[in-house]
Structure 1
Amino acid sequence: MKSALLITGSNQSAQPLAQLLRNEGYVKITTSFSAYGAREEASQCEKEFDLICINAPLPDENGIELSSQLAASSRSSVVIIVPQKSADEVNDLLTKHGVLVIAKPINKHLFHHYLQFTDCFRTRILSVERENERLKSMVEDIKIIDRAKLLLVTCLNMSESQAHKYLEKQAMDMRTSKLAVAKQVISTYEN
């Protein structure tokens, strides 16, 4: 179920934009009518929004600072809709922050493709983030195993190769992971 935070200056503009988002599959749409309210909503929301859509300008600011802040502080796709006359200038300011700029009036066909693009981009980012977390976990595991090997080398006068084989054999014999054996070695020999 896709969710969106729609930030716009009036209820009059919120209705058609919310309908466009519903047509794109956004089921849960939260609407805010000011930059201040949007910041509050984004910080209090338990779950991150899939999309943050800002219809600029807003009553309390132009929306440019808000869009760059929300793009930096969340994994949500951020889109800002601006008047045609300032679209190029705003695009130059916000592209480096990962904010997609859409010019008014909105072309429904292009809007559909813009949102498809943001979905694809967000999916790729989340995939890279998951892979990054997996690699960080692997590095931490390797550090623990290396610390156990060092303890075996210093406390039991094993060579690095013998310590490595010891951890592998213990893991096989105990039917557990090398990491679990390494943690056991650390708890035994450290202190």
Structure 2
Amino acid sequence: MDKTLIISGSEQAATLLTNLMKSYCSSQITVASSGNEARRLINRTEFDVAIISTPLPDEFGSDLAAAISERSSTGVLLICKADIADELSEKLEVCGVCVLAKPLNKTLFYHTLKMLQATRARMMNVMKEYSKLQTKIEEARLVNRAKCILIQYLKLTEPQAHRYIEKQAMDQRLSKTEVAQNILKTYEQ
């Protein structure tokens, strides 16, 4: 973990969590003392993990946990009193937030961090794959639009338009996408 955000209204809890994190890994640790401060930091910086020790001075912290989890790839750990931990866990598990009860068990804390780290790594891989697929879909749409233009203006059939784009790509040593863009520039003016 490269960057960790610790959000705690209590200086004592922030110090404890900072020390636990330092003993666990060599992460760059940023501490926020309120939900509003944490939101500003999250908007400016991508964190690997956010640890929220409830309650915060300006809010409880569960809404902040859900917001961070839903709007970023940050792994979120919420620490709360034992009597509400199960209820919060049930409510926040759909957002991907892990909940631990106070007082903290050091071993459980470390295992939860490992789970957050593994989950985040998996999510980052899925996001990369999603981005690749989005690019391929966009390229296919572009090529299909170019085929439609060729069919409309040059009266080619779909297989002929497809072959034309492939041949131009080979002859000009361009990608099919670049050929499609050139066709669209030529005919869509």
Please report the TM-score for the alignment, with normalisation by the length of structure 1: 0.94
Q: What does residue 53 of structure 1 align with?
A: 51
Partner Cα separation in structure 2 for residue 99 and residue 185 of structure 1:
48
Q: Does 1:90 align with 2:67?
A: no
Q: What does residue 67 of structure 1 align with?
A: 65
Alignment of 1:6-155 (within 5 A): 6-43=6-43, 45=44, 47-155=45-153
Counterpart residue identity of residue 177, structure 1: S
- Cα displacement string for residues 74-112 of structure 1 (whole angstroms, at most 9, x for unaligned residues): 210111011111111111111111110011111111111
Q: Does 1:5 align with 2:5?
A: yes
Give unpaired runs (5+ residues) of structure 1: none
1:24 deviates by 2.5
- Cα displacement string for residues 133-191 of structure 1 (whole angstroms, at most 9, x for unaligned residues): 11111111111101111111111111110111111111111111111111111111223
Q: What does residue 155 of structure 2 align with?
A: 157
1:66 deviates by 1.4
Counterpart residue identity of residue 140, structure 2: I
Aligned residue pair count: 189
Please report the TM-score for the alignment, with normalisation by the length of structure 2: 0.95
1:41 deviates by 2.1
Partner Cα separation in structure 1 for residue 164 and residue 90 of structure 2:
59
Partner Cα separation in structure 2 for residue 152 and residue 36 of structure 1:
55
Say which SS state the counterpart of residue 82 (structure 1) adopts. strand
Using the aligned pairs only, state the percent identity.
39
Say which SS state the counterpart of residue 57 (structure 1) adopts. coil
Counterpart residue identity of residue 34, structure 1: S
Q: Does 1:187 align with 2:185?
A: yes
Counterpart residue identity of residue 92, structure 1: E
